[in-house]
């Protein structure tokens, strides 16, 4: 049985109101759920490498989708502070996953719970405090 901190499932309260973003978040949530299950079954360097590689490439794709929407609707001009903060969070996250991957390469394996808790905490926090702001901005723009 998994404990709360490493357990995640999609919840309607995570919705930002923007279908494209919500679908990708849903995929990210499922990715973290599978990663936790896989590492619970078999904690190995190979699994850690595959999980972080797939996660990084999907996260980058997802960030690009959001950033493309920001550009299309001029988020930066409307909310420069929120825009800067949002971009920084995306960059910091990618940097952190790259750091974890470099450590793996050097033989320093991150603990399962440390990895999963970091990922879940980051994603939920980012969705609730950052993506939702973007979501309401986009909803307003799209309704015009
Ligand atoms: Fe985001």
pLDDT digits (tens, 9 = 90+) for 111-126: 999 999 999 999 999 9
Domain ranges of the chain: 19-142
Determine the Cα–Cα distance for residues 137 and 76; give it in Å rounded to an integer. 11
Q: In the CATH hierarchy, which top-level class contains the domain 19-142?
A: mainly alpha
Distance (Å, whole) CA 87 – CA 70: 10
Instruction: Please tell me the distance from the alpha carbon of residue 46 to that of residue 59, in angstroms, as a whole number.
Output: 20
State pLDDT tens for residues 15-60: 999 999 999 999 999 999 999 999 999 999 999 999 999 999 999 9
> In angstroms, what is the span from residue 38 Cα to ligand 1's centroid?
26
Query: What global pTM score does this model have?
Result: 0.94
User: What is the Å distance from ligand 1's center to 1 Cα?
Assistant: 30
Burial 77-106 (b: 16+ CB within 10 A, else e): eebeebbeebbebbeebeeebeebbeebee
């Amino acid at each position: 049985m998994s404990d709360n901190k490493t357990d995640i499932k999609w919840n309607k309260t995570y919705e930002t109101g923007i279908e494209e973003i919500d679908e990708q978040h849903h995929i990210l949530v499922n990715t973290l759920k599978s990663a936790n299950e896989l590492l619970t079954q078999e904690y190995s360097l190979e699994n850690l490498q595959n999980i972080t590689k797939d996660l990084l490439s999907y996260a980058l794709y997802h960030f690009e989708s959001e950033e493309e929407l920001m550009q299309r609707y001029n988020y930066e001009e409307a909310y420069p502070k929120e825009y800067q903060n949002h971009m920084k969070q995306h960059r910091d996250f990618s940097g952190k996953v790259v750091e974890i991957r470099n450590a793996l390469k050097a033989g320093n394996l991150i603990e399962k719970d440390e990895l999963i808790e970091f990922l879940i905490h980051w994603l939920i926090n980012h969705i609730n405090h950052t993506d939702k702001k973007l979501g309401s901005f986009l909803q307003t723009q799209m309704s015009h």
